[in-house]
Chains A and B, each alone.
Chain A
Amino acid sequence: MNAILLILLVVGGSAILSWPLGRHLRWAMDPVTPGTKRGALERLFVLFAGRISQQPQTWKDYAIAMLTFNALMFVFVFTLMAVQQHLPLNPDDKGALTLDLIFNTAASFTSNTNLQHYSGEVSMSYLTQVAGLMWLQFVSAATGIAVLTALARGLAGRAEMGNFFLDLQRATFLVLLPLAALVATGLVIGGVPMTLDGAAQVTTLEGISQTIARGPVAAFLSIKQLGTNGGGFFGPNSAHPLENPGFWTNVLSSISILLVPMACVWMFGRIIGRMKHAGVVFVVMLVFLFVKIGVAVVFESEPTHAFANLPIEQNSGNLEGKELRFGAAAGPLWAVLTTSTSNGSVNAMHDSLNPVTGLLPMIGMWLNATFGGVGVGMINMFIYIILAVFIAGMMVGRTPEYLGRKIEAREVKLAAVCLLAHAFFILAPTALFAVTPWGLDALNNDGPHGLSEILYEFSSASANNGSGFEGLGDNTVPWNLFTGVIMLLARYLPIVLPLAIAGSLAVKRPSAESSGTLGTEDGTFGFMLAACIVFIGALTFFPAAALGPIAEHFLTSL
């Protein structure tokens, strides 16, 4: 009962808050008539970025500007990490990092993934954490919101999709920064540390000396959640008591995971001027979310198989890898939220989840569109929408149309490339690492769960998620290089190709809607969309799931 209340509080609370935030996003990202106050902000942004920000960009110009800035983000943080041992704000004297780890981490945070092959409190100086990683958490999330805005403008029929330099500032300063400050304030009040002092040295009651790492956690943590980044200040992420000290910081963090991805759907609807369509998409996403949460919470309430037949009470769910202060349902709930969005922070160790519960985060990352990452989640859903419209059109024998524009071979090809790339980036390297020492030597568990560890890692890289079955010893050259490259490709391909689709749709002549037009604003379309997601996802990934988590589930019931 208290599990249901907690789920309703987190998901319902986020859904309700996402409505006003969606309005705000529209106001911030795509101002209709620059009013007096809003106009002053625009002038400020133009002043910051220079005159180029006044020039409207086509989809190609927009994509190139985005890629240029993102390349600079990568180079800047790569350099910062490479020399962190010589820079200030390093009270605990963190040393040099290996080049392959620096490459992986820079790729990871630039691509909004936040896969971490290091442990924050062990390896990173405060300067790296704040000026490098936290900064990327702002600007990579802002990149996602900016490109969704551009995509929506294209679908609204504007051949010029806005200006990236302007959009990035709007997303950073008008959306993410105020939210981050608000949430960080709440986290500080909830007991999260915020200090530049180095680790505390204490002598315990039994006379053992203990070093307690700390740092500017609260400021880092809020944007980590809000921007679907997910990279923790500490190694165990939001399971760490200093990163998530209590029940209410956990609730606040959970809501912060969902809020912006949800609001992005409403912003999309407002810019294309079809709120009913956005409503249908929102409901489809919400249904997927609730189904996954339900299954996860039910399976995780089973005691762990490892303690069966031992003199241990079997009256509570699986507690291995969980923290007591969040309550029983908080672990599986978070596991689903963090992988349905492309957040990737964790408040329990996913490696120790019961087998079927452990499958659900993977499903979230395979679909990657049931809310998804800030901005990019809705872009991924747009790909599914194109396919759903196309398949529905084929079934009834009409020319498929989306928002009054014909979907033709070019658009469908680009959409199919996006989906196939995601599957390829996950399954091909999983197969490679499953048969070579690169993968086998890194495993922390045997049997099907070992395969799950490899499969999870590549799913996380390709979905730009960042969570992991963290027992995997993945700070090695092959893991760092492969996942690093995959994170970059899996970030920019599904941004640039949808922009190209929107660009090609924008210049088509809109056809008048008639009774023969396939509607995209009703339940039939919602059902069609959901079915497409299930069939494409299931057909692609079921064999891998059967060999990993599903096989493990049957092992536990032997």
Chain B
Amino acid sequence: MKSLILPSLRLLIVTQLICVAAYPGIILTFAKVTTPDTASASILTDAKGNPIGSRLVAQDFTRPEYFWPRPSAVDYNGSGAGGSNKSPTSPRLTERAGEIIARHGATAERLLPPDLAAASGSGLDPFISEAAARFQLFRVAGARSVDAEKIEPLIAGASIMPGGFLTGTRIVNVLELNLALDAMK
């Protein structure tokens, strides 16, 4: 047994040097050179250079003149992400959906797109479905006193199919859409 400890220690040292010092070092350098922007979490800045958020991380929008993201079980906490972890039989999920329906003003005639009622796994999903953006179009246009037809092209322009023909739904990045809205003024 004793004779095995020294070779084990030698393995520890050599694997630490190669897997922990060298390997991440190489990946860090590669990232810094090729993708400096996404490597530091895709942070966006305003005209003055102040950071306003990450393209990949949802932030809270509650004002009527902005498009709202999907619900977040962690209140859009970028340093403590998580989902609701509620099961489909949980009455809490139904209650929460009721509050969201009221906030969005959905009715039996104007059904809420399901992604706006369901919290994402991370609580930070930066996307909503294109249908969810269109659902909010009239509220946003009304709050901004702008014709809905003027905002509509922004949605169409921001809408993507993330996997091409491998995905069924078109989705829209909420922060980018809201930035485009603000730029319109």
Is B140's beta carbon under 8 Å from chain A? no
**Contact partner of A68 among B1, B112, B121, B131, CB < 8 A?**
B1
Contacts of A351 in B (CB 8 A): 83, 85-87
Q: A188-B35, A206-B62 are in contact. Are A235 and B80 (CB under 8 A)?
A: yes
Is A490's beta carbon under 8 Å from chain B? no
**Which residues of B148-185 are within 8 A (CB) of A?**
162-163, 165-169, 171, 175, 178-179, 182
Contacts of B61 in A (CB 8 A): 205-206
**Which residues of B77-101 are within 8 A (CB) of A?**
77-90, 93-94, 97-98, 101
Contacts of B59 in A (CB 8 A): 202, 204-206, 208, 210
**Contact partner of B119 among A246, A320, A469, A555, CB < 8 A?**
A320
| CB <8 Å contact, B83 and A321 | yes
**Contact partner of B19 among A6, A138, A193, A447, CB < 8 A?**
A138
Q: How far is the CA of A50 from the CA of B15 in the complex (A)?
A: 14
B-contact bits for A290-307, CB 8 A (1 contact / 0 none): 000000000000011111
Q: How far is the CA of A536 from the CA of B57 in the complex (A)?
A: 45
| CB <8 Å contact, B101 and A310 | yes
Q: A319-B118, A470-B82 are in contact. Are A212 and B88 (CB under 8 A)?
A: no
Size category, A interface? 35 or more
A2 → chain B closest CB, angstroms: 5
Q: How far is the CA of A382 from the CA of B136 in the complex (A)?
A: 56
Is A543's beta carbon under 8 Å from chain B? no
Contacts of A239 in B (CB 8 A): 83, 120-122
| CB <8 Å contact, B166 and A354 | no
B3 → chain A closest CB, angstroms: 7
| CB <8 Å contact, A312 and B79 | no
Is B114's beta carbon under 8 Å from chain A? yes
- What are some 8 contacts across the A-B interface (CB < 8 A)? A131-B16, A131-B20, A188-B27, A212-B41, A239-B122, A241-B124, A319-B114, A327-B166
Given A219-B27, A248-B163: 10 more A-B contacts, CB < 8 Å: A92-B79, A121-B81, A169-B15, A195-B40, A312-B106, A321-B121, A326-B162, A327-B162, A328-B169, A352-B87
Q: Which B residues are within 8 Å of any A CB, using their own CB? A: 1, 3-12, 14-16, 18-20, 23-24, 26-28, 30-32, 34-35, 38-43, 50-54, 56-63, 66, 70, 76-90, 93-94, 97-98, 101, 106-108, 110-115, 117-129, 131, 162-163, 165-169, 171, 175, 178-179, 182
